[in-house]
Structure 1
């Protein structure tokens, strides 16, 4: 069979040794039995798929919001982002599709605020705030390249969380952590313990290669930020990992079938476990897997770690997110020691004053 390379198409052999061909952007497969590879029929089918894709691709108006987004998506600034961040941005671009024809000259701060507020009203406060942040990134990129004279999303504050509203990813209590560890099935326990005792997010924990656990230590990079994460494995986690069911998956954690977990698959299994424990009264409502990152931050903060150390432990570039994650830490034990030292220092100084008099 003749091998040819066509731009925009992926050609490979599957695990059965059969040739497969896909259009990369649309993931449209080509039936190589009907259109033999390298034949005139094959070339014609490739041209048809490309033409169909181009016909389905909306044409953006010059000087419009849609054109700016289209150009930004094709730039290195977007393509260098982590896949998760690209997917999050794309959700916002899809939301903005109905107003893609809006001229850039019409975009000002009041209009951006209205876009943010409408998104928050229909899809939630977090989505609205994140949409505003995404627009700020895109407008900033466009401003540097002459698309706009100003960044109309710059300086707009995020919508504040209503007072009394529960945190989206609250830290787990000690009792909740122990209850989940005691009730988790053997094939789920390593992944949950990994998130609980290293601060890795669900995606990073589930995709961690087996080779990244070595000599009692875990070394990896966060998928979202690319920041390195290094953890000497705590003894309880080490014991759980060594006692985990054997499997041949390349990842450290695996499902009951011995295959790498998918994020959706693990979340479905976690939901079943969480609902059962909630019904039994073993855990409170609102427990999330991502809340375990907040839990680790809170524990480190209560242990006296500074914000830079917490940021390094969680793989954060800046301390702002570490500060947010550690919010709610119980600082009373630490502050009792601080005030005791402060009181002793005051007494020492008072004694010196008395001697001078």
Structure 2
């Protein structure tokens, strides 16, 4: 049990009779209280919680740590999706561990950019993670600059270490047909609605049955807060109608008729893809696949195609071209292949 408690400090000491004993403390450092309960027991956990609950935490003002705390208290941060905040909290801990007492005044100083980039490069073995940590720090600095806490953001226009993209990871028609005809029903329904609505996994799994009015689906996206109205395609109408007639809380449920959990869905999806022999693409790639196929088959101008896709996917008019092109829409060769019916 104690291994799951972050911060528990374990030391071995030699007693007067020559034997060894292991002592546990609620944290490392001078003044840390000892935990007397037996390790691995419920009492041990309860004592740890009691000792650490009121432990004073000091954040020096005028430091990056204080900026982090101020940023965490903003309405914009609190409005982020729970999963996003969970990821940010983990990264905040790493940022504070490195720059806890780094003065705000030094952020603006010449040479600070090099300091932050060198820190990012210590994580270069996991380039995407390194970019995410630096990106969060850059976001904090951008917020601080916007409210004039700092006058210069040293992390503007930083090139990413991670250059990979999944925008060309498009499902083939054979793979799509396999899922839509051979997957177990509760997963087939999720895939079908994903393809026809272009929505993210989290928004699909938590979609309330009430959002279906008989003809259209209204979805408020958890990540962006945008609300989109989508006319229900014939392929998903039976799924929506069945959920409404069953008076379920959510449209999509697992094999037991219960609401999906994120981890439960990921596990079930992974096992089903292995059973079906589908490799090289992810559930998230269904969104890019739907966007790419729509673009390839819509008989409209480029601008009209992008606008129509943006209205469904929830991107703003201003961001539509950049975001859809960069993150979702496959390269021209794949689009041409789909148009010819060879993808």
Shift of 1:72: 1.0
Larger Rg: 1
Matched with 1:21 is none
User: Whole-Å Cα distance in 2 between the matches of residues 115 and 227 of structure 1?
Assistant: 35
User: Whole-Å Cα distance in 1 between the matches of residues 331 and 146 of structure 2?
Assistant: 39
Shift of 1:138: 0.5
- Specify which of 318, 326, 329 is matched with residue 326 of structure 1: 329
The question of 1:115 aligning with 2:119 is answered yes
* Off by >4 Å, runs of 4+ in structure 1: 49-52, 240-248, 333-336
The 1:169–1:80 alpha-carbon spacing in structure 2 relative to 1, beyond 3 Å, is: farther
User: Whole-Å Cα distance in 1 between the matches of residues 143 and 117 of structure 2?
Assistant: 19
Per-residue CA shift, 1:51-86, capped at 9, x if unaligned? 953416x32222221111011101223123333332
Moved more, 257-266 or 305-314: 305-314
Contiguous gaps of at least 5 residues in structure 2? 1-48, 299-303
Q: What RMSD, in angstroms, separates the aligned Cα atoms of the two structures?
A: 2.9
- Do the aligned partners of 2:296 and 2:339 also contact (CA within 8 Å) in 1? no
**Secondary structure class of the residue paired with 1:218:** strand
User: Whole-Å Cα distance in 2 between the matches of residues 146 and 334 of structure 1?
Assistant: 50
**Secondary structure class of the residue paired with 2:154:** coil
Give the 5 Å matches for 1:177-216: 177-216=176-215
- Do the aligned partners of 1:193 and 1:240 also contact (CA within 8 Å) in 2? no
Shift of 1:159: 2.4
The 1:141–1:268 alpha-carbon spacing in structure 2 relative to 1, beyond 3 Å, is: same
The question of 1:264 aligning with 2:258 is answered no
The 1:286–1:60 alpha-carbon spacing in structure 2 relative to 1, beyond 3 Å, is: farther
- Do the aligned partners of 1:186 and 1:244 also contact (CA within 8 Å) in 2? no
**Normalising to structure 1: TM-score of the pair?**
0.70
**Secondary structure class of the residue paired with 2:122:** helix
Moved more, 241-250 or 173-182: 241-250
The 1:209–1:147 alpha-carbon spacing in structure 2 relative to 1, beyond 3 Å, is: same
User: Whole-Å Cα distance in 1 between the matches of residues 232 and 288 of structure 2?
Assistant: 18
Contiguous gaps of at least 5 residues in structure 1? 1-48, 337-357
User: Whole-Å Cα distance in 1 between the matches of residues 307 and 246 of structure 2?
Assistant: 37
User: Whole-Å Cα distance in 2 between the matches of residues 331 and 177 of structure 1?
Assistant: 16
